[in-house]
Amino acid sequence: MIRMLLLAIAYLIPALLLEVAILPQAQLLLPDDSQTLLQPRLLALGAILIGLLRGELPGMLMGLAGALLAGFALRPDRLGATVIGFVLVGYLAGQLARHFILTGWLFRAFVIFFLLLVERLAFNATMWFFWRNVELSLPWSTLIWTALAGTMLYRLLLRIKRPLYMMEAEEELALGRSSS
Partner 1 sequence: MALAHGTSNQNRLPLVWRRRLRLALLVACLLAGLALAAMARYREDDTYRYWAVGYQALAPLIEPTQAWSHRWVLTIGKLDSLWEAEADNMRLRRELTRARLELDLLGEQLGRLERLSGMGTWSAPPGLQFLPADVTGVLTGDDGMLLVINRGRADGIRLRDPVVALDGLVGIVRATSEFSSQVQAITDSMSVVGAATIDTRARGAIYGRGRNQPLEFLPENEAVQFELGSSLISSGFDNSSFPKGLTIGTITDRDFNLYGIPVGLVRSAVQFETLEEVLVILPEARMRGLDLPSTTTLGLFTISMPNTFFEDQPASPTLALGDEGSSPALALLDGSSSPPLALLDGATSPMLAADDATTTTTEAAR
Nearer to partner 1, 107 or 131 (CB): 131
Using CA atoms, how far residue 132 sits from 52, 73, 77, 136, 140, in Å, is 33, 23, 13, 10, 22
Q: Is 46 in the site for partner 1 (CB under 8 A)?
A: no
Q: Is 125 in the site for partner 1 (CB under 8 A)?
A: no
DSSP state of 144: H
Q: Is 140 in the site for partner 1 (CB under 8 A)?
A: no
Residue type, 13: I
Query: In whole angstroms, what is the distance from residue 167 CA to residue 133 CA?
Result: 45
Q: Is 136 in the site for partner 1 (CB under 8 A)?
A: no
- Position among 5, 144, 160, 174 found at the interface with partner 1 (CB under 8 A): 174
Nearer to partner 1, 56 or 109 (CB): 56
Q: In a 10 Å sphere around its CB, with 0-12 CB exposed, 13-18 middle and 19+ buried, how is residue 136 labelled?
A: exposed
Q: In a 10 Å sphere around its CB, with 0-12 CB exposed, 13-18 middle and 19+ buried, how is residue 149 labelled?
A: middle
- Position among 6, 131, 141, 144 found at the interface with partner 1 (CB under 8 A): 131
Q: Least Å distance between CB 109 and partner 1?
A: 25
Residues contacting partner 1: total by CB under 8 A = 45
Q: Is 4 in the site for partner 1 (CB under 8 A)?
A: no
